[in-house]
Amino acid sequence: MKLRYKILNGVAAVLVLSVTALVLTVSHDSACPPVTRAAAGEGSMRAVMHRCYGVPGGIRVERIAKPVPSEGRVLVRIRASSVNPVEWYGVSGQPKLVRLSGGIGKPSFARTGVDMSGVVEAVGPGVTLFKPGDEVFGSASGALAEYAVAREQGAIAIKPQNMTFEEAAAIPIAAITALQGLRDQGQIDKGSKVLINGASGGVGTYAVQIAKAFGAEVTGVCSTRNVEMVRSLGADHVVDYTKEDFTAGEERYDIILDNVGNHGFADLADVVNPGGIVVIVGGSKKGPLLGPIKRIAWAKVAGLFVEPQLKFFIAQLNKADLEFLAGLVREGKLRSVIDRRYPLDETAAALEYLGAGHARGKVVVTVE
């Protein structure tokens, strides 16, 4: 065998071995450690913990120490939280590549939850924007618990009075994603023709309303059982994906907000006006190693060959956008659609339901 073939074979063997080692490493599951219990009382709280991977098996409610707000932090007594695909990925450890950042074998951070609403119980030194008793909503690390600490300058705002705690807790991740996808990535304008693929889910139900608030002409794509709900949110047109494929239709759009990832980029490009934009919000959970990461990677390649811009982004939670959304709620232009409510003890069931991919609006966890 010539030297160059020997070298090529060697490189190929090293590559195969490296990929195999990576797959085996990220596929390893450590057993769940025994439940730890802090003494019940003033200084403790109940919190959802995931000390091993798996939905529903990796979730337990434990009693742990109640946090104390440090400088610039606010302690919130949580009234409600809501679950998002990001928590499902983190807790299930699927696709397995997420474990490179989330922890090999077991999660490196056992708390979960981001979206929350509740009442400020205490504030740390230097906090001026909030005081005990304020009703707030926003994001806090480990929000699936009785208490969580939020950064005063972070994504936290006064809860609109025309919303319940549950409705407010549904907003942060999903509605900020919809807003940033349409406004910052899609550059939505009055009169834009916008198609929202996956209009009936967490992101989609807010996206329909936000696009309408910007004065766009909105088409929502959903299944038969959700057609009336999507129309009631203000969609001008609704495509029932069980009967019609929008990529085969005559209509053309300036912006496609794709929450589902079930169409090829070439097919999406066919129904985008010149200068239009496809905003990739999410992709299929299927695929044990890569899941939606495949679609994001593929968008980079496809972007070289199709005309519309393909934009993928990760939503950035921030106060200004949360307050913008609170303003829309106060004006009656934005509301939350809540599919199911689960008590904190049944968070595992909430995540299992969300993970099946057919929630109608948001799935909320209530905290007694």
Ligand X SMILES: NC(=O)c1ccc[n+]([C@@H]2O[C@H](COP(=O)([O-])OP(=O)(O)OC[C@H]3O[C@@H](n4cnc5c(N)ncnc54)[C@H](OP(=O)(O)O)[C@@H]3O)[C@@H](O)[C@H]2O)c1
Binding site residues, ligand X, CB under 6 A: 84-85, 173-174, 177, 197-198, 200-204, 221-223, 226, 241, 259-260, 262, 281-283, 292, 313-315, 354, 357-360
Please, which residues bridge with residue 340 across strands?
363
Q: How far is the CB of 345 from ligand X (least distance, A)?
A: 22
Omega cis (within 30) before 274: no
Nearest CB to ligand X, comparing residues 149 and 222: 222
Comparison of 74 and 354: residue with beta carbon closer to ligand X: 354
Least distance (Å) between residue 259 CB and ligand X: 4
Q: At what angle do helices 202-213 and 172-179 cross, to 10 degrees?
A: 50
Q: Which is it for the CA torsion 219, 241, 272, 268, positive or negative?
A: positive
Min separation Cβ 177 and ligand X, Å: 4
> Cβ of residue 51: shortest distance to ligand X, in angstroms?
23
Give the residue at shortest CB distance from ligand X: 282
Q: How far is the CB of 185 from ligand X (least distance, A)?
A: 9
Task: Pick between residue 45 and residue 218 the one whose CB is nearest to ligand X.
Answer: 218
Question: Of 47 and 315, which has the nearer Cβ to ligand X?
Answer: 315
Give the residues across from 362 on adjacent strands: 338
Q: What whole-number distance in Å separates Cα of residue 348 and Cα of residue 58? A: 8
- Residue 161: DSSP 8-state: T
Contact 245, 221 (CB under 8 A): no
Closer CB to ligand X, 120 or 350, in the complex: 350
| SS3 of residue 157 by DSSP | strand
CA–CA distances in Å: residue 323 to residues 100, 176, 251, 268: 34, 10, 34, 33
Query: Minimum distance between the CB of residue 226 and ligand X, rounded to whole angstroms?
Result: 5
84/61 Cα distance (integer angstroms): 18
Nearer to ligand X, 69 or 292 (CB): 292
